[in-house]
């Protein structure tokens, strides 16, 4: 029987990757992992000057992988509690558990078996130990850092999505409004909307303004 083709690894969405990288970079700075870097520029500027993800994976592999999985799950829409629970389950060295009991033989204690990721069943005491998490990484996710960082990213996205002035008169009207100078009557009606965002007037309106100015 011929072997099937291996499945390609699932890749995260580009938008999620774009948000994940700056969050990992900020987490790297807050954990002060730049102290362990051999590059003098990182220690001088107190921030990672290279790939923060690779640096964190090299410094604290298990804790950084857990942190990255939790942040990626939150970006995918999960709550922080559910994301942390899923990451904790993924750290276990086994994928299934079974307890062997002896009905009618009270002198024999139950024996718990676990199935490792390679499919082998062993006793629970024979399973490899789970490496402990860095308490600083756990404290960072337990703080308000991630929620505040996501709020800042959302505010930045909204600011970038606002319409920009499309002509010179609209830009002048916006500058006058910010400086407290009364705008031109025609510009006030055509160039600035009610929320203070500049918008381009209709072509017929622009022609009428030009005719009045020439007159």
Neighbours of 191 (CB within 10 A): 28
Q: Which of 176, 179, 170, 169 is nearest to 197 (CA)?
A: 170
pTM, two decimal places: 0.61
Q: How confident is the model at residue 2 (pLDDT cuts 50, 70, 90)?
A: very low
pLDDT reported for residue 86: 92
Tens-digit pLDDT profile for residues 123-147: 888 888 888 999 999 999 999 999 9
pLDDT reported for residue 15: 57
What is the residue extent of each domain of the chain? 14-91+133-159, 94-126, 164-214
Q: Are 96 and 44 in contact (CB under 8 A)?
A: no
Question: Which is more confidently placed, 116 or 178?
Answer: 116
């Amino acid at each position: 029987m011929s072997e099937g083709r291996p499945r390609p690894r699932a890749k995260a969405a580009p938008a999620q990757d774009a948000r994940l990288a700056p969050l990992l970079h900020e987490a790297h700075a807050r954990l002060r992992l730049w102290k362990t870097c051999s590059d003098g520029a990182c220690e001088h500027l107190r921030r990672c000057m290279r790939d923060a993800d690779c640096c964190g994976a090299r410094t604290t592999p298990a804790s950084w992988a857990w942190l990255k999985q939790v942040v990626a799950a939150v970006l995918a829409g999960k709550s922080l509690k559910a994301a942390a629970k899923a990451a904790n389950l993924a750290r276990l060295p086994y994928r299934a558990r079974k307890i062997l009991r002896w009905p009618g033989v009270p002198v024999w204690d139950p024996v718990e078996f676990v199935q490792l990721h390679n499919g082998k069943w062993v006793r629970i005491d024979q399973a490899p130990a789970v490496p402990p998490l860095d308490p600083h990484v756990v404290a960072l996710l337990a703080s308000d850092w991630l929620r505040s960082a996501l709020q800042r990213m959302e505010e930045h996205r909204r600011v970038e999505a606002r319409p920009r002035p499309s002509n010179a008169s609209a830009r002048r009207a916006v500058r006058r409004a910010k400086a407290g100078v009364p705008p031109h009557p025609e510009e006030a009606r055509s160039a600035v909307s009610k929320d203070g965002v500049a918008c381009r007037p209709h072509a017929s309106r622009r022609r009428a303004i030009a005719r009045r100015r020439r007159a």
